[in-house]
Chains A and B, each alone.
Chain A
Amino acid sequence: MRELLRRLHYFLNRRRLDAELADEMAFHREMAAKTGGMPLGNTLRLREESREAWGLMWLERLLQDVKHAIRALRAAPGFTATALIVLALGIGASTAIFSVVDAIVLRGLPFDDADRIVSVSETNKARAGVPGGNAAPQNFLHWRAQQDVFENIGASAGIGGFTIRGDGPPEELRALQTTSNLFSILRVHPAIGQPYSEANEVDGNHRVMLISDALWRRRFNADPNVVGRTMTFESGTWQVVGVMPAEFRYPIGPARATDLWVPYVVAERNKVRGQGRSYFLNVVARLKPGVTLEQARARMEQITAGLATAHPTWFQDRGIATVTLHDYIVGASVKSWMLMLLGAVGFVLLIACVNVANLMLARASARGRDVSIRTALGASRWQLARGLLVESLVLSSVGTIIGVAIAYWAVGVLRASLPATLPRLSLVAIDVRVLAIAAIVSVVTALLFGIVPALQASRPTPSMTLREGGRSATASLLRQQLRSLLVAAEVALAVVLLVGAGLFVASFSRLMSVPIGLDYHNVVSLPIWPRNTGKDADARKIMIEQNATRVADLMTRVQALPGVESASLFFGGLPLSGSMTRGIVKVPAQQKQFDGDDAVDIRSVTPQYMHVIRQPLIKGRVFNNADVLDPGASVLLNQAAERLYFEGTDAVGQAIDIAGMRRVVGVVADIRLEGPEKDARPQAFIPMTRSMSGQGVDLVLRASGDPGSVIPSVRSAVQQAFPDVVVPEARTFEEMFNTLIAQRKFNMLLLSLFGILGVVIAAVGIYGVMAFVVDQRRTEFGVRMALGARRGGIVGMVLRRAALYVGSGLVAGLGIAIGMSMLVKSFLFNVAPTEPLVYVAIAILLSAVALVAALVPALRASRVDPIVALRSS
C-alpha cells in the first residue's frame, strides 16, 4: 500500500524527478570524465529505464497516446465530426432504449430476496398459465388454508373512501387494503411505528393505517410522534400506526403512488361461496426456504384442481397462474416487446460501429506513409495498433458523452410517448446503472470499430509503401476489399432495420384504416361520482333521488354551456376505455340458449348518446322521451347482437331478455369498443333510469370545437353541482383511442427513426468508399478518357462497382430480414412477416438511396480532366 502511494507520488512529480535524475547522471558523467572512469551509456534510455522503475510507465504512455490521439483527431476535423455524430447517435439511442428496458423489464424489485416473492392469480382458461387476473376472496381463503409451500400468502386490493375534505377542493387519497402479513412477505418494516397485525383484520379493530413518507410530510409535517394521531374520512376516524420508508412503493408501477395502507377485512359475504362472485384480490406470497417456484406452482394447481371438483361452477372457465412477482408485474408480452426494441437499437449501434470502422480504414489509407515511416524507424506493430486503439477509445468516449446527453433528452420523449399503462414507466431515468452500461457499451464499441483498422493499418509493409510514393498497391487493395465488405455489411444491417420499420408502418396504416364505427374526435367524458353512502337503505334512497335531481339540473346547464354541441349520460364501460359490463341474454323466440360466451355488452344511455358519438342508426329508431319514462321497456341492439340473437331475422319489434324483458326498438351500427384490433361484440343499449343517474355515471359530450376549451367550464359546473366530491380528470375519446394504439404507434415511429438512421449512416458509408475508389483510380480514368472513353461509360463503371457492394449487401440483408421477421410476428397487425410489398419497397428505397450516394463520386470521376490526371502522377 505504502509502495503504491510512493509510486503515485513519483508519477505525479515525474517531471521534476526526471529533471533531477538527468542532473544526477550529468554529475556522474563529469566525475567519470575527471577520473577516467567508465562511460555511462545512453542517458536517455537509462532515464527511461529508471522511470520504468517507478512503475506507472504504462499510465504515462497511455496519457501520451491519448494526447497523440486528440492531436490526430483535431487534425482531421471532417473525419472526427462524422465519426462523433454517428457514434453519439448510436450510443445515445442505445442508452435511451436501455434505460427504458432496464427500468421496465430488467431491474429487480426493491425487496429483500425479491425472486422468492411470487404472485398467485386466477386466469382465464382460454389463456391458461398467463398471469394477469385477480383472485376471488373465497379462493384466496382456500389457498391460504391449504397451501404448505409459502412462508406467508397475503392479498391486497385498492379501496376508496379516503377523501380529505377541508377548506379547499377535496383531495382523494390512494389507499390499499392488505392482509397484515404483506409486510413480512415483502420484508419491509415501517420507518416509524409498527405494521398492523392480524388482530386488525377484524371489523371494528380495522381503523388503523400505515401512511406513506410523502403523506407524513405533507399532512403531519414529518412529526416523529405521529403514531397515535388520527385522520377522519367519511369511512370513520383512522389511527396512524406507522410511517413506511420513503423508498417503499407498493403496488409497484402506477404513476400515482399509494398514500396509505389499511388492514383488509374479509367481508362476511366473501367468506362463503354464494351467488355473486368478484375477482379483485392481488395475491402475493413468499416461497418457503428450499421450495422452488415449480414445486409451488404444482402444489397450487393441485389445490385449485381440488377446489374445482368441490365447486365446479366457480372454476368452469378459470385457471391459476403462479409466477414470480417480477414476471407478474412485467408480463411476458411487455418483456418480449422491450427486448425487441433493445434488439432493434442494437442494430443501429452495430451500423454505427461498422461505419466508423470504415471511416477509420479510410483514414488509415491516408496515413499509410506515416505508419510506414514509423515502422521503418522501429515502432512495433503493437505500438502502432495501440495508438489506433487509443484513438478509437477517445472517439467512443467523447461520442458517449454526447450520446448520454442525447439520451437524457430522449428519455423524456420516450417516457411521454410510451403507453402510460406500461408497468414501472415512472421509474425510467438515466441513472448510475444506465451510465455504467453506457460506459461499457462505449468501450465495446471502440473495440468493435477499432480493432480491424488497428490490425489492418499496422500491417508491416514499410518498403513497399515508401517506394511507391505513398500508394501501396497491395495494402490499399486489401484495405479496399475490406472496406467494400464493411459497406455491404452496413447495407445489410440497414435493410434489416428498414424491413422492420416497413412492417411496423404497414401494420400501423392497416390499423388506422379499420373503421371503428364512432366519431371519437371532440368527444369528452367526465365521471360524476356523487356520494351515496347513506346510514341505511332509506337514507341512501333519498340521497340517490337528490343526486338524480342535481344530475338532471347539471345536464341542462352543461347543454347550455358555450362550446358544447350535445351532451348525454352513460353507464357501463366507456367505448375505447377497455372496461365493460356484460350480461346473459335470453330470446323467447329462439330455441338456442345463449351462455357466457354469447354475453352481451350492456350500456345504459340517455337518448342523446347516439347523437353525441355519431353512432349510425341502421333501422328502427333511437330512444325518445317515452323510453325515458318507461326505461324497462325498450332496448337498442347493434348489428352484431341482431345477427347473433336473431340469426338473420329482423330484430326490431321482437322481445329479448336483457336485464328484464324488453322490446327491440332499433338497430345501430357496430362499434369496435375495444379499439380497431378487436371485432365488434354484441352490444345492447338500455335507457338510463333515474336511480342509475343518481349513483354515478359518465357525462359524455361533444364539443363544437377543441374539447380542451370546454373541459374547464364543464368541470366547474360539475363541482358546483356536487361541491363535496372530487371531480376526476376529464378524458377525451381521442386520448383513449390514442392509448389503445400507443404501442403500435410508438413501435412504428421508433423503428422508422432507427430505419432512417440506419439508411443515412449506410449512405455515408457508400459515399465514402466510392469517393475513395474514384480518387484512387483518378489516373486510370484519365487514361481511359484520353483513349476515348465516354463520360457515361466512366459513370457506369463506378456505378457498377457500387452496385456490386450494395447489391450483395441488399441480398444478404433481405435474407437476414426474412429470417428475423418471424421474431416480430406477434407485434404485427394484419401484416404477414414476409409481406412481399414491404420487402420490395425497401429494396427499391435502399437502391435509390445507394444510387444517389454513389452517383456523386461517379459524376466526379467522369469530370476528371485527362491532362491534369496524367500530369499529377
Chain B
Amino acid sequence: MHKKDMPAGALVLLILRVLRSGSLHGYAIAQRIHTLSSDQLRVEEGSLYPALQKILVKGWVTAAWGTSETGRKVRFYKLTRAGLKQLDAEATDYDRLNRAIRAILDHA
C-alpha cells in the first residue's frame, strides 16, 4: 500500500489526538503522526502549519515557547479543555462514520 495522503479534516483530528498525551512542537507532531501510523500515514508537512494556525484561532490548543531536544527555541503546542472536547466529538463522529462505511462494505 502506498503511503496515503491525509483525508481532509482528519489532520486536525490527528493533531489533537497526538497532543492529548502532552505538549509537542510542530516537527514532533509530524513525526509522531508518521510513526504512530506505522509509516502508513504521511503528514503533508506543509499543511501541518496552516492547520495548526486554524486550531490556534479556534482556541483548541495554546502555544508556548520552549526549548527543543536540540536546544533550540521553538513553539510547543498544548491541548486546551476546549480542544479535548473537540477531540472527543470528532473521534466519536469519526467512529460513527467508520462503522457506517464498514457496515456498508460488509453487507452490501
Which A residues are within 8 Å of any B CB, using their own CB?
Answer: 2-3, 6-7, 10, 20-21, 24-25, 27-28, 30-32, 34, 37-42, 45-47, 49-55
Is there contact, CB below 8 Å, between A6 and B53?
Answer: no
Q: From A9, which residue of chain B is reached at the shortest CB distance?
A: B57
Q: B36-93: which have CB < 8 Å to A? A: 42, 44-47, 49-54, 56-59, 68, 70, 72, 74-75
Total cross-chain contacts (CB, 8 A)? 73
Is there contact, CB below 8 Å, between A27 and B72?
Answer: yes
Is there contact, CB below 8 Å, between A10 and B57?
Answer: yes
**One of A27, A41, A49 near B68 (C-beta < 8 A):** A27
CB distance from A806 to the nearest CB of B (A): 58
| B94 close to A (CB within 8 Å) | no
Asked whether A41 and B74 contact (CB < 8 A) given A3-B58, A7-B57, the answer is: no
**One of A3, A27, A37, A53 near B53 (C-beta < 8 A):** A53
Cβ contacts under 8 Å, B68 to chain A: 27
CA distance A246 to B70 in the complex (A): 75
Is there contact, CB below 8 Å, between B74 and A24?
Answer: yes
**One of B27, B50, B59 near A3 (C-beta < 8 A):** B59
CA distance A30 to B57 in the complex (A): 26
Cβ contacts under 8 Å, B51 to chain A: 53
**One of A21, A46, A51 near B46 (C-beta < 8 A):** A46
CA distance A32 to B57 in the complex (A): 26
| B32 close to A (CB within 8 Å) | no
Tell which of B27, B51, B74 has the most Cβ of chain A within 10 Å: B27
| B25 close to A (CB within 8 Å) | yes
Asked whether A6 and B27 contact (CB < 8 A) given A32-B45, A41-B45, A49-B50, the answer is: no
Q: From B31, which residue of chain A is reached at the shortest CB distance?
A: A37
Size class of the contact patch on chain B: 20 to 34
Is there contact, CB below 8 Å, between B59 and A21?
Answer: no
Q: B3-46: which have CB < 8 Å to A? A: 25-27, 30-31, 42, 44-46
Is there contact, CB below 8 Å, between B45 and A54?
Answer: no
Cβ contacts under 8 Å, B30 to chain A: 28, 37
Is there contact, CB below 8 Å, between B45 and A27?
Answer: no
A-B contact pairs, 29 of them (CB 8 A): A3-B58, A6-B56, A6-B57, A6-B59, A10-B57, A21-B49, A24-B25, A24-B26, A24-B75, A27-B27, A28-B26, A28-B30, A30-B70, A31-B27, A32-B27, A34-B70, A37-B30, A37-B45, A40-B45, A41-B44, A41-B45, A41-B46, A42-B46, A49-B47, A50-B53, A52-B50, A53-B51, A53-B57, A54-B57
CB distance from A27 to the nearest CB of B (A): 5
CB distance from B11 to the nearest CB of A (A): 12
Q: From B29, which residue of chain A is reached at the shortest CB distance?
A: A28
Q: From A52, which residue of chain B is reached at the shortest CB distance?
A: B50
Q: From B72, which residue of chain A is reached at the shortest CB distance?
A: A27
Cβ contacts under 8 Å, A32 to chain B: 27, 45
**One of A31, A46, A55 near B49 (C-beta < 8 A):** A46
Tell which of A6, A28, A34 has the most Cβ of chain B within 10 Å: A28
CA distance A20 to B42 in the complex (A): 25
CA distance A52 to B68 in the complex (A): 27
Is there contact, CB below 8 Å, between A53 and B46?
Answer: no
Is there contact, CB below 8 Å, between B45 and A53?
Answer: no
CB distance from A52 to the nearest CB of B (A): 7
CA distance A345 to B72 in the complex (A): 68
CA distance A356 to B26 in the complex (A): 52
CA distance A2 to B58 in the complex (A): 9
Cβ contacts under 8 Å, A47 to chain B: 49
CB distance from B20 to the nearest CB of A (A): 21
CB distance from B70 to the nearest CB of A (A): 7
Cβ contacts under 8 Å, A52 to chain B: 50
Tell which of A21, A24, A39, A42 has the most Cβ of chain B within 10 Å: A24
Asked whether A2 and B53 contact (CB < 8 A) given A38-B45, A41-B45, the answer is: no
Q: From A49, which residue of chain B is reached at the shortest CB distance?
A: B50
Asked whether A31 and B58 contact (CB < 8 A) given A38-B45, A41-B45, the answer is: no
CA distance A820 to B26 in the complex (A): 71
CA distance A53 to B31 in the complex (A): 23
Asked whether A53 and B59 contact (CB < 8 A) given A24-B75, A27-B72, A39-B45, the answer is: no
Tell which of B30, B44, B50 has the most Cβ of chain A within 10 Å: B50
CA distance A760 to B36 in the complex (A): 77
Is there contact, CB below 8 Å, between A46 and B50?
Answer: yes
Cβ contacts under 8 Å, A28 to chain B: 26-27, 30, 45
CB distance from A23 to the nearest CB of B (A): 8
- In the complex, besides A10-B56, A51-B53, 7 extra interface pairs with C-beta distance below 8 angstroms are A7-B57, A21-B49, A24-B49, A28-B30, A30-B70, A39-B45, A41-B44
Q: From B43, which residue of chain A is reached at the shortest CB distance?
A: A38
Asked whether A27 and B49 contact (CB < 8 A) given A3-B59, A53-B54, A54-B57, the answer is: no
**One of B25, B46, B59 near A40 (C-beta < 8 A):** B46
CA distance A783 to B27 in the complex (A): 70
CB distance from B13 to the nearest CB of A (A): 16
Cβ contacts under 8 Å, A51 to chain B: 53
Is there contact, CB below 8 Å, between A38 and B42?
Answer: yes
CB distance from A13 to the nearest CB of B (A): 12
Is there contact, CB below 8 Å, between A20 and B46?
Answer: no
CA distance A712 to B54 in the complex (A): 80
CA distance A30 to B75 in the complex (A): 15
CA distance A388 to B101 in the complex (A): 51
Q: From A10, which residue of chain B is reached at the shortest CB distance?
A: B57
CA distance A54 to B52 in the complex (A): 10
Q: From B46, which residue of chain A is reached at the shortest CB distance?
A: A41
CA distance A653 to B51 in the complex (A): 111
CA distance A2 to B53 in the complex (A): 16
CA distance A38 to B47 in the complex (A): 13
Cβ contacts under 8 Å, A10 to chain B: 56-57
What are the 9 closest A-B residue pairs judged by CB atoms, nearest first?
Answer: A41-B46, A53-B53, A53-B54, A49-B50, A50-B53, A31-B27, A50-B50, A46-B46, A28-B27
Q: From B68, which residue of chain A is reached at the shortest CB distance?
A: A27
Is there contact, CB below 8 Å, between B59 and A25?
Answer: no
CA distance A52 to B47 in the complex (A): 12
Cβ contacts under 8 Å, B47 to chain A: 49
CB distance from A55 to the nearest CB of B (A): 6
Cβ contacts under 8 Å, A31 to chain B: 27, 70
Cβ contacts under 8 Å, A2 to chain B: 59
CA distance A362 to B47 in the complex (A): 45
CA distance A40 to B42 in the complex (A): 12
Is there contact, CB below 8 Å, between A3 and B57?
Answer: yes
